[in-house]
Homo-oligomer: A and B are copies of this chain.
Amino acid sequence: MAADPRFFPQAGPQPLEAVLAASGAEVLGAPGERHFAGVAALAEAGPEQISFCDGPRHAAALAVTRAGAVLVPASLAARVPAGCLALVTRAPGLAYARLAALFHPPPPPNGRIHPSAVIGEGAVIGPGCEIGPYAVVGARAQLGEGCILGPHAVVGDAVELGPGCRIHAHASISHAICGAGVILHPGARVGQEGFGFLPTPEGHFVTMPQLGLVRLGDRVEIGANACVDRGSQGDTVLGPGTRLDNLVQVGHNVQTGRACVLVAQAGVSGSARLGDFVQIGGQAGVTGHLVVGDRARVGAQAGVMRDVPAGTDVLGSPAVPVKDAMRGFTIMKRLVEESRQSPEKRPEKGDE
- The residues of A with any CB-CB pair to B shorter than 8 Å are 1, 3-4, 6-8, 39-41, 91, 93-94, 96-98, 100-101, 104, 106, 114, 116, 118, 132-134, 136, 140, 150-152, 154, 157-158, 168-170, 172, 174-175, 185-187, 189, 192-193, 195, 197-201, 203-209, 211-213, 219, 223-225, 227, 229, 233-234, 241, 243, 245-247, 249, 251, 258-259, 263-265, 267, 269, 277, 282-283, 285, 287, 300-301, 303, 305, 317-318, 320, 323-324, 326-336, 339-340, 347, 349-352
Residues in B whose Cβ lies below 8 Å from that of A169: 136, 154, 172, 174
Complex-state Cα separation, A72 to B264, whole angstroms:
42
- A-B pairs, 8 with minimum CB distance: A3-B211, A330-B347, A100-B209, A329-B352, A189-B224, A227-B246, A6-B158, A326-B350
Residue pair B152, A133 in contact (C-beta under 8 Å): no
Q: A172-B170, A213-B7, A245-B195 are in contact. Are A134 and B158 (CB under 8 A)?
A: no
Residues of B within 8 Å of A136, CB to CB, are 132-134, 151-152, 169
| Contact indicator B1/A234 (Cβ below 8 Å) | yes
Return chain B residues, CB-CB under 8 Å to A241.
Answer: 203-205
Minimum CB–CB distance from A231 to chain B (whole Å) comes to 9
Interface of A (DSSP majority class): loop
Contact of A101 among B157, B207, B320 (CB under 8 A): B207
A203 & B249 in contact (Cβ 8 Å cutoff): no
Give Cα distance in the complex from A154 to B264, angstroms.
23
Instruction: Enumerate chain B residues within 8 angstroms of A264, measured Cβ to Cβ.
Output: 195, 227, 249, 251, 267, 269
Roughly how many angstroms separate A84 CA and B115 CA in the complex, as a whole number? 55
- A100-B7 CB under 8 A given contacts A151-B136, A352-B326: no
CB distance from A14 to the nearest CB of B (A): 14
8 A-B residue pairings within 8 Å (CB atoms): A1-B234, A8-B209, A101-B207, A101-B209, A189-B246, A205-B219, A287-B300, A318-B329
- Is A206 a contact partner of B98 (Cβ separation < 8 A)? yes
Q: Which residue of B lies closest to A277 (CB)?
A: B203
Known A97-B197, A224-B227; further 8 A-B contacts with Cβ < 8 A: A3-B211, A7-B175, A136-B152, A150-B154, A168-B192, A172-B187, A186-B192, A227-B246
Q: Is the CB of B333 within 8 A of A100?
A: no
The complex places the Cα of A344 from the Cα of B334 at a distance, in Å, of 14
Q: How far is the CA of A96 from the CA of B197 in the complex (A)?
A: 11
Residues of B within 8 A of A189 (CB): 185-187, 224-225, 246
The CA of A288 and the CA of B169, in the complex, are separated in Å by: 27
A207 to chain B, nearest CB (A): 7
Closest to A258 in B: B203
Chain B residue at minimal CB-CB distance from A98: B206
Give the chain B neighbours of A186 by CB distance below 8 A: 154, 172, 189, 192
Complex interface: chain B residues within 8 A of A329 (CB): 318, 350, 352
On whether A246 and B229 interact (CB within 8 A), knowing A97-B206, A207-B97, A318-B352, the answer reads: yes
